[in-house]
Every structure is written in structure tokens, then in C-alpha cells.
Amino acid sequence: MNGTRVKLDVALTIDSATVLSHTESAVAVIDVLRATSTVSKALHSKASSVFPVSGLEAAKEAAMTLAPALLCGERLGVRPEGFDLGNSPLEYGEDAVAGKKLVLATTNGTKALDRYSDARLLTAASLLNATAVAEYLLSTGRDMILVCAGQDGTFGAEDAICAGMMVERMIKEGVLMTDPAWMALTAYRACRHDLAGSIKKCDHAGYLIEEGFEQDVEYCSKADILNVVPVATVLEGRTAVVRA
């Protein structure tokens, strides 16, 4: 923990959190399109837990071990054959997931959750629950890293915009921003008057719209509609995300 003022860093790509040690910090993984939006929606719809997994085979194995559990995820944005649910947050209503364990494997978002599973404290944030997670992180009193999951190790603007929104909620408390945190804040302020229109201009949004997921892009652009904070813990010997 920082002895003086709390520091706030943004990793604009998955591996660029260099200023602070993530094992000593409170970390939020952000994958607006769509993994952390899906995690947030699932927990808001009363799923009991979400087990984030990197690979599809690992997901199948986890779902068998954790049975009964729903097998969920995507490759190239689409539900893999034999999976119960894809990665559209709109599929994760109470009727589908309430009271259930979910195993979720996505291309970037759950990989990022896996990558940071040894953080001192790990959460999942999206535009849907940005303020709730920002307030939770601040309440820990720890240094904070907002990790943008992006695409295959590269930058995704929608995640940086979400990080910037969270930074804005946090600077009111007088935390020390790193340069990437300040850049994310600047990006958010440039487009907050039209978040949905701005998110639509991002590369991955364009891909999802072409694949028929425009409704997902619109849904994932809604700020603060879910008052839920997904936090990582260990259940049945595996990393799981549950409601705080």
C-alpha cells in the first residue's frame, strides 16, 4: 500500500502496467466489447459465479469439473459449437443464468482476467458498471491499475474510454494519475457527450456490427446502468468472479 497519496495507472494495452506492481495493487480489467460487460450483466442477473478461462478446451474441462455449470464464450465473436451461451451480454438475463455457475472463455477479456489473477485485488469493469467499480477501488485505499484488455495485445479505444471515465470518478478524490491515466481521461472527456457514437467508431465495434451484434455495441455503451462490482476470489480451487 502507498504510504502517501494513492496512485492510479492505466495499462493502455494488456501488458503495459509498468509503473506499479499489480500484485500489490487493486486492478480492474476492462473489456467493454464485450467480456467484462458480459461478466457484469451475468452477476447482476444473479449468476452465482463466473469462472474466467483462457482457452476453449480449458473451459470445457472446467465446466465438467464444476458441473452443473454453463459453458460460455466466443471465438471471433461467435458462440463456439457445443457451448451453452455466447458472449453477448443480452443473453445473460435472469432466466438464463440466475443461481448458476458459468465458465466463460473469451479471446481477450477472460485472458486478461487470468493474466491478472495474482493481483492484490481483482475486479472486472465495463461502461455498464464503471462508477460502481471506481468507487469500490477507491474504497480499498490501494494503488490502482485499470487494465485495458484490447485486441490480441494491441490497443482498443473503447477500453481506454471506459478507463478514462473511471479515472474521472477517481480524481475527485485527489489520487495521483500516471501519464496513461491522464491520456485515458482526456480521451473520455473528448467523447463523453456521445459515448455510444464514439464506441461505434472503434475497430472492434465495427467488426461486431458487421457480424450482426449492433445491439450488443449499443448496450455495452450505456454508462452506469448496472450497480454491480465483480470481484475475483477462489472457489473450488479456481479463480472465480462473484459479486462484492
Q: Please give the residue ranges that form the binding site for ligand MLT (CB under 6 A).
A: 31, 33-35, 74, 77, 87, 106-109, 208
Whose Cβ is closer to ligand MLT: residue 108's or residue 239's?
A: 108
Least CB distance from residue 13 to ligand MLT, whole Å? 13
Whose Cβ is closer to ligand MLT: residue 20's or residue 73's?
A: 73
Residue showing cell 467484462 = 36
Cα separation, 107 vs 53, whole angstroms? 10
Whose Cβ is closer to ligand MLT: residue 5's or residue 201's?
A: 201
Whose Cβ is closer to ligand MLT: residue 157's or residue 208's?
A: 208
Cα separation, 111 vs 30, whole angstroms? 11
Whose Cβ is closer to ligand MLT: residue 9's or residue 74's?
A: 74
Least CB distance from residue 232 to ligand MLT, whole Å? 16
Least CB distance from residue 141 to ligand MLT, whole Å? 30
Least CB distance from residue 226 to ligand MLT, whole Å? 17
**Set of cell numbers at residue 33:** 466489447
Cα separation, 92 vs 64, whole angstroms? 20
Least CB distance from residue 77 to ligand MLT, whole Å? 5
